[in-house]
Structure 1
Amino acid sequence: MIKIMTAAERHTTHEDGIHSEFSFSFGDYTDPHNEHFGSLLAHNEYVLQPMEGFDRRFHHDLVIVHLVLEGTLTYEDDTGKLMELTPGTIHVVNTGSGVYHAERNASSSEDVRYLEMWFLPAEPGLETSHHQSNFTKEQQLNQMLPIIGSGNGESSLPQSLDVVMYSSILETGQELTYSLAGDRRMHLYVIRGHVEISSEDGVFDITAGDAARIQRRHELTFRGNSSEGSSEMVLIDMP
């Protein structure tokens, strides 16, 4: 089954220099029919205006992923971490038993645009830990680059989480294929451009800000269809 959620269907807020787009129930936005998709609890897109951001707040037993699309995001928390996150950087924090963290735009002239995703951890009460890795546009071009995942290696999460996240820049006319197992789900989000999804369920056209929620076994084909020459997307394979 493939369900498309368009950009227009996301819950939108704009206050105190922060523009927010929520794909699932989050904060004051409550929809009992749209609370999560598998282990993905939140998929938020934020734009922080210059010198704006989120003050320290407390979270526990969540794995939080930051993926910066434009600008520089400053992340800090009470473990002593202070990071400047830029496009091409993926940051993962397993909040574990609890951490106070904040995200801000320290620039006086440029906006920051980023994705923040929340996942259920493998188990509760783990020690707070961080993971950060970098990738290039060349590595994403016309392939599905795993930017975080379970198992071993440079892209592994600090504690086992049964999630693999891919990033791809797909040139117009280029195709990628993917076999989704019967007990898995995929959340696909288009950052920019236009992507065509083909499977036994049919053909679906999605554009920037749209998401596809895919579950049960599928042989998937993704085709770049942007008039601007390329499309960018994030794909999450999870239980």
Structure 2
Amino acid sequence: MLEIRRSAERGHANHGWLDSYHSFSFADYHDPKHMHFGPLRVINEDRIEAGQGFGAHGHRDMEIVTYVLEGALAHRDSMGNGSTIGPGDVQRMSAGTGVRHSEFNASKEAPLHLLQIWILPQRIGEPPGYEEKRFGEAEKRGRLRIVAAPDGREGAVTIHADASIYAGLFDGPERAVLALAPGRQAYVHLVRGRLSVNGTILTAGDAAMLSAVEAVTLEQGENAEVLLFDLA
């Protein structure tokens, strides 16, 4: 089964300094039909004005993955981590028993565009943790590069959830197929461009939810950047 959710169907909030689209219920946006997909709980597409951001705030018992599209994100947290991440970087913060962090646009001039993803952990009450890694464009060109996985395989960041995240860049004849194990489901979020997912065309911001299928096929890309989630 394949279900499509178009970009315009997402929740939307514009706070001036923050323009955010919500794939799932979040903050003041509540849609009982879109609370989560398997353990995938949040995909927020955020555009943050120069010099603006989120002051120190707390999380617990959530795997938080940040994927920067444009600009630079300054991160600080109560575990002592501090860094600036940009396009190609994947950041994982395991909130566990509790962590506080702040996130700001590192630039005083340029906007910041990112995806923040929340995934429900397999166990609650674990110690908090942090990790970040860079995945260059060449690693994602015409293929699905695993960037987050429970076992950290192939150099991915380690998330404590029954989920794996792949990133890919597709254009022209480039094509990739991901086989799904029995009982698994997939969520495809098209970050930008245009792409065919199992024969259905997506454009930027669209999502495809797939269950009871043997594989996910990505092809016919036009400057496409995509995230694919393999989920319990």
TM over 0.5: yes
Give the C-alpha shift of residue 152 in structure 1: 4.6
- The answer for the alignment partner of 1:178 in structure 2 is 178
**CA distance, structure 2, for counterparts of residue 220 and residue 46 of structure 1:** 27
**CA distance, structure 1, for counterparts of residue 211 and residue 150 of structure 2:** 20
Give the C-alpha shift of residue 44 in structure 1: 0.5
Superimposed CA distance per residue, residues 115-174 of structure 1 (whole angstroms, 9 cap, x where no aligned partner): 0010111211111101111111011010110011122543141x6422111110012122
Matched, 1:136 2:136: yes
Cα distance change on mapping 1:110 and 1:156 into 2, 3 Å: closer
**CA distance, structure 2, for counterparts of residue 160 and residue 216 of structure 1:** 24
User: Tell me, what secondary structure is at the counterpart of 2:130?
Assistant: strand
Matched, 1:207 2:200: no
Give the C-alpha shift of residue 40 in structure 1: 0.5
Superimposed CA distance per residue, residues 60-118 of structure 1 (whole angstroms, 9 cap, x where no aligned partner): 00000000000000111111111101101000011000011111113111000000010
Task: Give the TM-score normalised by the residue count of structure 2.
Answer: 0.95
- Whether contact under 8 Å (1:183, 1:217) holds in the other structure is no
Give the aligned residue type for 2:209: R
- The answer for the alignment partner of 1:66 in structure 2 is 66
**CA distance, structure 1, for counterparts of residue 192 and residue 166 of structure 2:** 15
Superposition pairs of residues 82-93 of structure 1, within 5 angstroms = 82-93=82-93
Structure 2: runs of 5 or more not aligned: none
* Equivalent residues, number: 231
**CA distance, structure 2, for counterparts of residue 106 and residue 38 of structure 1:** 33
- Whether contact under 8 Å (1:181, 1:216) holds in the other structure is no
Q: Between the two proteins, what is the percent identity of the paired residues?
A: 29
Give the aligned residue type for 1:210: D
User: Tell me, what secondary structure is at the counterpart of 2:138?
Assistant: helix
**215-224 vs 115-124, greater mean Cα deviation:** 215-224
- Whether contact under 8 Å (1:172, 1:231) holds in the other structure is no
- The answer for the alignment partner of 2:212 in structure 1 is 216
Matched, 1:234 2:230: no
- The answer for the alignment partner of 2:53 in structure 1 is 53
Give the aligned residue type for 2:116: E
Give the aligned residue type for 1:136: G
**CA distance, structure 1, for counterparts of residue 221 and residue 85 of structure 2:** 30
**148-157 vs 137-146, greater mean Cα deviation:** 148-157
Give the C-alpha shift of residue 180 in structure 1: 1.7
Task: Give the TM-score normalised by the residue count of structure 1.
Answer: 0.93
- The answer for the alignment partner of 1:5 in structure 2 is 5
**167-176 vs 63-72, greater mean Cα deviation:** 167-176
The list of structure 1 runs, each at least 4 consecutive aligned residues, that deviate by more than 4 angstroms after superposition, is: none
Give the aligned residue type for 1:169: L
Cα distance change on mapping 1:156 and 1:103 into 2, 3 Å: closer
CA RMSD of aligned residues (A): 1.3
Matched, 1:96 2:89: no
- The answer for the alignment partner of 1:18 in structure 2 is 18
Give the aligned residue type for 1:231: A
- Whether contact under 8 Å (1:63, 1:118) holds in the other structure is yes
Structure 1: runs of 5 or more not aligned: none
User: Which among 210, 214, 221 is matched to residue 225 of structure 1?
Assistant: 221
- The answer for the alignment partner of 2:156 in structure 1 is 155
